[in-house]
Amino acid sequence: MVEKIFMDQTVIITGASSGIGWEMARQMAAQGANLALAARQKDKLTELADQCNKLGGKAVAVPTDVSDPKQCRALIDSAIKAFGGIDILVNNAGTTMWARLDEITDLTIFNTIMQVNYLGSVYCTYYALPYLKASKGRIAAISSLTGKAGVPTRTGYSASKHAMVGFFDSLRVELRGSGISVTMIYPGFVDTGVQERGFGADGKPLGINPLQKNKIMTANECARLSIKAIAERRREEVMTLRGKLGQWIKLIAPGLVDKIAAKAIEEGK
């Protein structure tokens, strides 16, 4: 049972100011979790912390830019100071892009995406690891189906998610026998708000959501499935039927997966 499994557990969630992280925080708070909430937007974090406290959890807002290793260390230190330990680390902070490589005019997009999506997870995990070993805790990383298969207009994003997968799969092997579980989460398209903030070809926020919201998963549902997988210490959670089928099709007909990925982007779902 997932219900109340996180009671009095200390959970760090990065990228908590919106989308999946926001919903995970609220759902875990309702189970009585202690939450260290991290993101760059202080006002949104404070609002979320207030909501979590009212829902039955205990929450602290820790403004953090995960691309800065010093701030990641300060996040871990803040969680320890507030709650005395760490049971779960959810590496959720991320940014995205929507542009073909031959359209891009600002190559710093690739640096920023890799710093946030990949290295931010590395930094937070590194500093949290001693405490997670002590608690025999859980590590979760929110990847994407693009971490399993390439998708057009998402070259830098897909690369960062593939990097996350390689890192956490390797770490899982290193941690065998430690009692720590490592769960990879692979959502499909989710209505999180990150699309509007994603980079366009010129390096500026896109400002619009190119997806059809009525055809994609809600952040609430994605959070629910993620929490269930973390609670059960699963190796991975692939959320969509298309994603699950795609894993098998890629083994026997990889070219077909390319066509499916291209069609998904063209149709905006």
Q: Would you name the residues annotated as active-site residues?
A: 157
Amino acid of residue 13:
I
Token pair 């990879």: residue: 184
Count the neighbouring beta carbons within 10 Å of the beta carbon of residue 243.
Answer: 17
What gap in Å lies between CA 253 and CA 196, rounded to an integer?
33
* Bridge partner list, 236: 184
* Bridge partner list, 199: 97, 205
What gap in Å lies between CA 84 and CA 135, rounded to an integer?
11
The answer to whether 25 and 60 have CB atoms below 8 angstroms apart is no
- Helix or strand run (H / E) with residue 140: strand 138-142
